[in-house]
Structure 1
Amino acid sequence: MDKLIPDPPFNTTTPNAEALRTEELLKDREAIKRALNYYLDPPAPYAPTPRRPSTMYMIAPNMDTESLLAQACESLASASVLASDFATHLIGPQRNTVLAIQQIIMLAELAVNRALDNVDPQV
């Protein structure tokens, strides 16, 4: 859209014109610095709060390590069976991907079993 009236030229006839222009530039720079500091480095009340996980599904804090490891082992065993059953219905690269996921689950299950043995050795 064209303007009907052009911007007025900068008035250089006044003796203080250069000083006024410098003052305006300094004010602009200060405003820019304030805006950047506000958005890039927010003041304390606007600082991000630390993340607090949801307590909807919370494990009781007084659970012993052996019970937690046993539950993790059972969950991993179930996930391994689910992945194995799912892989039987797939072919090609998708089947290979699911079998790789199952192998990772089994490795995690082995690690949890070893930790469980370390907590309560079955001698």
Structure 2
Amino acid sequence: MIKPTPNPPVRLFTVADGISTEDLLVNLSETLASANALSCDIAFNLEGASREELLGVAQLIELAQLLADRVHDGVGQPTASVS
């Protein structure tokens, strides 16, 4: 019998328990910065649609970086209520 859905992939990487939110956010920011640098370096060696697509990916990475930075800035601060 053929299964309708495949088994989920085995995870190769995990995050250790007990790491602080701030440390996780710092590592997230460093990872995003590396991904952005790689995508920009590769994009500038391309031309046409491929370059534009990869620069679009770089913009998404930058957006994720801004979101991570905002969360990191707010760690440990009370959340403001919106009226």
- Is contact 1:66-1:119 (8 Å) kept? yes
2:57 aligned with 1:101: yes
Counterpart amino acid of 2:74? N
Give the corresponding residue for 1:6: none
Q: CA deviation at 1:61?
A: 1.1
- Is contact 1:83-1:99 (8 Å) kept? yes
Q: 1:112 to 1:65 in 2, by over 3 A?
A: same
Give the corresponding residue for 2:32: 76
Counterpart amino acid of 1:95? R
- Is contact 1:66-1:120 (8 Å) kept? no
2:73 aligned with 1:117: yes
Counterpart amino acid of 2:71? A
Aligned runs of 1:34-49 on 2, under 5 Å?
none
Per-residue CA distance 1:21-46 (angstroms, 9 max, x = gap): xxxxxxxxxxxxxxxxxx8xxxxxxx
Give the corresponding residue for 1:23: none
RMSD: 2.0
Larger Rg: 1 or 2?
1
Counterpart amino acid of 1:85? D
Bigger relative contact order, structure 1 or 2 (CA pairs below 8 A, ≥6 apart): 2
Q: 1:87 to 1:107 in 2, by over 3 A?
A: same
Q: 1:83 to 1:52 in 2, by over 3 A?
A: closer
Percentage of matched positions with identical amino acids: 35
Deviation >2 Å, runs of 4+: 51-54
Question: Which structure 2 segments of 5+ residues have no match?
Answer: 2-7, 78-83
Give the corresponding residue for 1:60: 16
